[in-house]
Amino acid sequence: MKKAELMDYDKALELFEPVLGFEVHVELNTKTKMFCGCANEFGQGANTNTCPTCLGLPGGLPQVNAQAIESSIRLGLALGCEIAEYSRFARKNYFYPDTAKNFQTSQYDEPIAFDGQLTIELESGRLVTVDIERAHMEDDAGKLTHVGGATGRIQGADYSLVDYNRGGVPLVEIVTQMIEGGEADSPEIGRTYVAAIREIVKALGVSNARMEEGNVRCDANVSLRPRGSNVLGTRTETKNVNSLRSVERAVRYEIQRQAALLHAGGTITQETRHWHEDTGITSAGRPKSDADDYRYFPEPDLVPVAPSREWVEELRATLPEPPAARRKRLQADWGFANLEFQDVVNSDLLDAVEATIAAGAAPQAARKWWTGEVARLANVSGVSADSLVQPAQVAALIELVVAGTLTDRLARQVLEGVIAGEGTPLEVVESRGLAVVSDDGALIAAIDEALAAQPDVLAKIRDGKVQAAGAVIGAVMKAMRGQADAARVRELVLERAGAAE
């Protein structure tokens, strides 16, 4: 549907109530795949990380990755889920060339984790509790590349290539209950929920959590219920939305699209939809009915997973502080304004700032350096700020500024030196000779010279026009090549001007 045909968002919400549901796939960062010993790695030659098991060769058999089970349990616990005492894998049978066995080894009626809850906070401060139905383990499919067609999709392609390196990579699929009452916030709920999941798996260290690499993938279910009705509308499932902003846009688009269709007397087809990042629209995928029959049955090649209660409690003890609670605590501890704190969070610098403060820096100074100069330099070289320099170095730099050894301007030069690998801030100060000149004798000599060279200025200062001192200060700073504390220079200028009286 063209953008112009969409219903106005506010009008859509007047007529309909959006009902949401999300399925988030998290790729675990285990060393090996879910059911075989092949490396869980990307960037390898096609089909190099494969074996009889993940290629689905005749005779291949699965072996469960114990680390994946542990990661799944920790993730389940972090989502407030119950951990099943007895959990089984099941085969989800369907034919598709990216699925080597032509069934996915997943979980059906006995998932590892179920009945969880996640409370998210919207920008308005509104709290929304999302009920988690289940989090289950499964293996990923291979990657299809369609060659020939104009669109890169299978339709119109001359042929397709399959790379099974991703086939068998461990996934946890997190399924929410229906989310009702989101109203106008629905798109933001989508974005914030996925962001929260991403933050949790990152804090747990169970996934690399890079959405752009598909480590976290979201399927967004949207349906509309006419106001006054208690009958649910037909839903669509927009697949593989791979950025937080896209989740928000896709939900919003579907609300507007479905509303326009329904209002015009049309019906919604229960189907999967593709999200198009470039045009910001969704398009029809394949029909998906509730009666889709995957002929699930318990995987006979694997034994049940029955984690002991003791182990589950041990794993619970390893959980990090929930990211949302941690953010609240840190903002209060640091005394940051909302915008200041948001800036840190949005720049993904919470860990870096926290470590810098822990190394002795004042919170505001840590924030200022990371979101300011470090972020700027990182942006220039196209890398992430926290990969550029260690928090301890930033803290050491700040210490030198506080001690008066460096001005901000000098400190920026020192930072460049540190990033260039010239050593610690102190070492850079010494090797580049960048310390503030704190020898009053040298300064006084320079000031006296400057005052003598600008007798008119001296006269003005003596007349009480103190602001005229700026010209002398500038000349002195220039003479000192910037390596002087401007405040001290000012003090001395006034003093010398008075003394010369």
Do residues 150 and 158 lie in contact, with contact meaning Cβ atoms separated by under 8 Å?
no
The tokens describing 481, both together, are 């090549």
Amino acid at position 497, single letter: A
One of 43, 125, 265, 300 touching other proteins (CB under 8 A): 300
Asked if 45 is part of the footprint of other proteins (rule: CB under 8 A), the reply reads no
Binding residue (CB under 8 A) for other proteins from 31, 44, 57, 286: 57
Does position 102 interact with other proteins (CB under 8 A)? The reply is yes
Identify which of residues 158 and 463 has a Cβ nearer to other proteins in the complex: 158
What does the DSSP 8-state code read for residue 5?
Answer: G
Q: Is 285 in the site for other proteins (CB under 8 A)?
A: no
Residue 72 tokens, joined: 């799944």
Nearer to other proteins, 156 or 335 (CB): 156
Rounded to 5 degrees, what angle do the CA atoms 250, 255, 258 make? 115
The correct pick among 269, 297, 409, 438 for binding other proteins (CB under 8 A) is: 297
Q: Whose Cβ is closer to other proteins: residue 219's or residue 299's?
A: 299
- Integer Cα distance of 218 and 176 in angstroms: 11
Out of 18, 21, 62, 170, name the contact with other proteins by CB under 8 A: 62
Stretch near other proteins under the rule CB under 8 A, chosen from 101-109, 179-187, 381-389, 439-447: 101-109
94 residue type, one letter = Y
295 binds other proteins (CB under 8 A): yes
DSSP string, 85-128: SSB--EEEE---TTSTTSEEEE-SSS-SEEEEEEEEE-TTS-EE
CB of 74 to other proteins, least distance (A): 22
- Start-to-end CA distance of the chain, whole Å, equals 82
Among 39, 122, 175, 302, binds other proteins (CB under 8 A): 302
Pick the piece of the chain touching other proteins (CB under 8 A) from 5-13, 91-99, 277-285, 413-421: 91-99
C-alpha span between 128 and 153 (Å, rounded) = 37
Give yes or no for residue 86 binding other proteins (CB under 8 A): no
Stretch that binds other proteins, among 5-13, 217-225, 291-299, 363-371 (CB under 8 A): 291-299
Alpha carbons 327 and 219: distance in angstroms, whole number? 27
Nearer to other proteins, 59 or 125 (CB): 59
Whole-number minimum distance, CB 195 to other proteins, in Å? 36
Residue among 93 and 243 whose Cβ is closer to other proteins = 93
The SS3 of residue 342 is helix
Cβ–Cβ < 8 Å for 109, 134: no
Q: Find the binder of other proteins among 11, 61, 145, 333 (CB under 8 A).
A: 61
Stretch that binds other proteins, among 71-79, 94-102, 214-222, 344-352 (CB under 8 A): 94-102
Please report, to the nearest 10 degrees, the dihedral formed by the alpha carbons of residues 327, 333, 336, 341 taken in order.
-20
Cα dist from 117 to 134, 188, 211, 356, whole Å? 10, 18, 22, 33
Is residue 317 within 8 A of residue 107, CB to CB? The reply is no
Query: Is the C-alpha dihedral spanning 442, 448, 453, 457 positive or negative?
Result: positive
**Rounded to an integer, what distance in angstroms lies between the CA atom of residue 435 and that of residue 429?**
6
What one-character DSSP code corresponds to residue 348? T
- At a CB cut-off of 8 Å and minimum separation 6, what does 295 contact? 91, 93
Stretch that binds other proteins, among 95-103, 212-220, 313-321, 454-462 (CB under 8 A): 95-103
- Residue 265: how many other CB atoms lie within 10 Å: 6
Q: Which is nearer to other proteins, 65 or 347 (CB)?
A: 65
Tell which residue, 144, 147, 167, 135, has the closest CA to residue 53: 167
- Judged by beta carbon, residue 103 or residue 253, the one nearer other proteins is 103
C-beta of 214 vs 298, nearer to other proteins: 298
- 339: exposed, middle or buried (C-beta count within 10 Å: 0-12, 13-18, 19+)? exposed
Contact call for residue 162 and other proteins (CB under 8 A): yes
161 lies in the site for other proteins, by CB under 8 A: no
Closest CB to other proteins among residues 60, 482: 60
Q: Measured from the CB atom, is 300 or 464 closer to other proteins?
A: 300
When asked if residue 48 is in the footprint of other proteins (CB under 8 A), the reply is no
301 binds other proteins (CB under 8 A): yes
Question: Least distance in Å: CB of 92 to other proteins?
Answer: 10
User: Is residue 337 a contact residue for other proteins (CB under 8 A)?
Assistant: no
Strand order in the sheet with 103-106: 103-106, 90-93, 297-298
Which CB, 42 or 294, lies closer to other proteins? Answer: 294
Q: How many residues bind other proteins (CB under 8 A)?
A: 31
Within 15-78, strands assigned E span 16-27
Which span sits near other proteins by CB under 8 A: 11-19, 203-211, 298-306, 448-456?
A: 298-306
Phi, psi dihedral angles at 295 (to 5 degrees): 45, 50
User: 36 or 78: whose CB is closer to other proteins?
Assistant: 36
166 binds other proteins (CB under 8 A): no
Shortest spacing between CB 244 and other proteins, in angstroms: 34
Binding interface with other proteins (CB under 8 A): 51-52, 55-64, 91, 93, 95, 97, 100-103, 160, 162, 291, 293, 295-297, 300-303
